[in-house]
């Protein structure tokens, strides 16, 4: 998993607003952009990374070799304006440059919206429940922009096999090798062959997975605007596409792991200090009690360690530098405390909230 800086680098941007972000957050809804290398023509042209709007028909589709920026704007009740959540999503195979630019663009979008958004760091397969809720399904596809992806017609389509995984919040579909031996009786699979889309169900897959796979099959077919249809997994064409037969199917494999829920009794609070010139995290004792918002000091920055997720809370009196380096601070904390670098991270300014924050500081 790439480790990214929080504020980008010289190649990430020149300080001028990115025209691709124009109008972002003006109305309620969902916006998605992909990080792209805008390398100029000619030998030796320097890379200039930016973002490009992702087609709405592909919302929920993520390439493992890419990074994405996602903005969710929600209308508050009683004419209260819009609340914004900015997520940057990192594929397991994206480059360090792409990860850096994604984080930089999240900060840029935050600035564009006058600091109103809550920032979230998301990683492939470990997305927060809030992020998952934005999409009917999540599909992880191999490759990325560097692999030369471009829009193709159903006749030209590269066939893909997806393994459908159970999740509480949405469907996760992971691309797997186009081989009959990829199938096993513990899961449901969807074969997208362009004009034919098949759903195959293992003997021991759950009713939930069966339903989710059927829904994903229908979503793909509907998205082809009449140029694709549901295929029958009993047809010879299904097995020909996979280069095998039913005898190649493996016994059930039960290796599904759900994301852990937040346990408020196991959350720890740390106060950030750099008074000595070196970043230090001082544990704040809670006296054996669950954390209380009253423990947060407006003049400081705090880290809330929820084991399976991390929150950076920025007090109103903290410095501009502390605000700008919030995501980098979170990454430093994860590394020093032995937490996986794919751990979801929220950056919250005083007065803001998020689903994760509310699950820790329950009223």
Domain shared by 32 and 124, yes or no: yes
Range of the domain at 304: 264-360
Taking the model in full, what pTM does it have?
0.79
Asked if residue 80 is part of any domain, the answer here is yes
Which among 311, 279, 276, 281 has a CA at the least distance from the CA of 293? 311
Q: Note whether 36 and 51 are within 8 A (CB).
A: yes
Q: Note whether 343 and 126 are within 8 A (CB).
A: yes
Q: Which two tokens stand for residue 261?
A: 């829920």
Domain shared by 230 and 307, yes or no: no
Our CA dihedral for 193, 195, 200, 206, rounded to 10 degrees, sits at 110
Q: Note whether 203 and 246 are within 8 A (CB).
A: no
pLDDT band for position 27 (cuts 50, 70, 90): very high
What is the total count of domains within the chain? Answer: 3
Domain shared by 186 and 84, yes or no: no
Domain shared by 129 and 32, yes or no: yes
Asked if residue 2 is part of any domain, the answer here is no
Segment 8-21 mean pLDDT: 60
Asked if residue 164 is part of any domain, the answer here is yes
Domain shared by 193 and 293, yes or no: no
Residue 53 has pLDDT above 70, yes or no: yes
Provide DSSP, 57-79.
Answer: GGTTEEETT-EEEEEEEEEPGGG
pLDDT band for position 314 (cuts 50, 70, 90): very high
Asked if residue 300 is part of any domain, the answer here is yes
What's the whole-number average pLDDT of the chain? 85
Domain shared by 57 and 128, yes or no: yes
Asked if residue 65 is part of any domain, the answer here is yes
Domain shared by 244 and 279, yes or no: no
For residue 54, the domain's CATH number is 3.40.20.10
Residue 321 has pLDDT above 90, yes or no: no
Spatial separation of the C-alpha atoms in residues 273 and 189, rounded to whole Å? 50
Domain shared by 240 and 273, yes or no: no
């Amino acid at each position: 998993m790439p480790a990214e800086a929080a504020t980008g680098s010289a190649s990430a941007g020149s300080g001028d607003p990115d025209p691709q972000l124009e109008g972002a957050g003006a109305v309620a809804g969902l916006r998605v952009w992909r990080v792209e290398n805008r390398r100029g023509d000619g030998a030796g042209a320097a890379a200039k990374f930016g973002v490009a709007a992702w087609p709405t028909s592909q919302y929920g589709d993520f390439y493992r070799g890419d990074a994405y920026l996602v903005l969710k704007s929600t209308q508050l009740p009683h004419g209260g304006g819009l609340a914004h959540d900015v997520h940057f999503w990192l594929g397991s195979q994206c480059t360090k440059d792409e990860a850096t630019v994604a984080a930089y663009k999240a900060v840029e979008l935050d600035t564009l919206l006058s600091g109103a958004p809550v920032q979230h760091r998301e990683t492939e397969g470990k997305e927060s429940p809030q992020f998952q809720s934005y999409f009917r399904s999540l599909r992880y596809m191999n490759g990325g922009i560097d692999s030369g992806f471009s829009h193709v017609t159903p006749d030209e389509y590269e066939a893909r096999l997806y393994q459908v995984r159970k999740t509480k919040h949405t469907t996760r579909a992971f691309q797997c090798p186009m081989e009959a031996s990829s199938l096993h009786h513990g899961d449901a699979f969807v074969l997208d062959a362009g004009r034919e889309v098949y759903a195959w169900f293992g003997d021991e897959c759950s009713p939930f997975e069966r339903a989710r796979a059927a829904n994903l099959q229908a979503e793909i077919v509907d998205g082809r605007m009449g140029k694709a249809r549901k295929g029958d997994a009993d047809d010879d064409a299904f097995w020909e596409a996979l280069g095998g037969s039913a005898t190649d199917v493996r016994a059930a494999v039960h290796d599904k792991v759900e994301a852990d829920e937040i346990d408020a009794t196991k959350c720890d609070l740390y106060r950030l200090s750099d008074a000595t010139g070196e970043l230090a995290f001082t544990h704040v004792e809670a006296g054996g009690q669950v954390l209380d918002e009253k423990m947060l000091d407006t003049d400081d920055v705090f880290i809330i360690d929820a084991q399976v997720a991390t929150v950076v809370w920025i007090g109103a009196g903290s410095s501009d530098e502390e605000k700008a380096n919030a995501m980098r601070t979170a990454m430093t904390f994860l590394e020093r405390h032995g937490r996986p670098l794919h751990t979801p991270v929220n950056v919250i300014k005083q007065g803001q909230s998020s689903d994760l924050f509310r699950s820790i500081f329950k009223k």
